[in-house]
Amino acid sequence: MAVLLNDHLSSVELRPLRYQFPVARGDEYDDNWLVIGGSVTTAGGSWSFADPSLLVHEARELSRWLRAAAAGAVQPKGPDAEGLLSPDTWFVEPNLAVSLAGRDDDAMAVRVHLSLEARPPWRRDEDGEEVYQYVVELRLDAAALLRAADEWDRALAAFPAR
């Protein structure tokens, strides 16, 4: 199971693969780090990654955000005064985030922010690139966001908080 966001130009597939540490040791953070696998396709190329990116409770926030965006409860956000993008969600590890770029009657423009290890391999050596500035923008309708949220919740069922 994975969350798959795609339009006719790009796709982002995310899936929880495993806990970073197979054996729980009683540490609130270490016990709950999830390795997230991603496959991304854009006009500029395709790549994949697998990295400890989200805590269990953070992973659950992703489906809540998808549902809120589908319901119209998330407001579009543009760049700040310096031209930098800021996501609606952010996590301890800034590898993944999401934001809403815009909406109209038919669909929404959803940004998936990919930083650090989740960036395309040809951009991983760019030390000066700010976190959250590499994005894949997808045009999706509310039904697609709700399907993605359902798929993500099913995938996370195998990873309870420990």
pLDDT of residue 123: 85
Mean pLDDT score, 25-45:
95
For residue 95, pLDDT over 70 is answered with yes
Question: Which segment of 5-9, 36-40, 157-161 scores lowest on mean pLDDT?
Answer: 5-9
pLDDT of 139 strictly over 70 = yes
Q: Which residues fall within 8 angstroms of residue 34, CB to CB, at 6 or more apart?
A: 16, 17, 18, 19, 20, 52, 53, 54, 55, 56, 59, 159
Q: What value, to the nearest 5°, has the Cα angle with vertex 130 and ends 46 and 44?
A: 20
Confidence bin at 68 (pLDDT 50/70/90):
very high
* Domain ranges (residues) in the chain: 3-156
Quick check: 3 pLDDT over 70? Answer: no
Instruction: Name the CATH architecture for the domain at 3-156.
Output: Roll (2.30)
Per the CB < 8 A criterion, the answer to whether 62 and 38 are in contact is no
- Mean pLDDT, range 48-76, rounded to an integer: 96
What pLDDT is recorded for position 125?
72
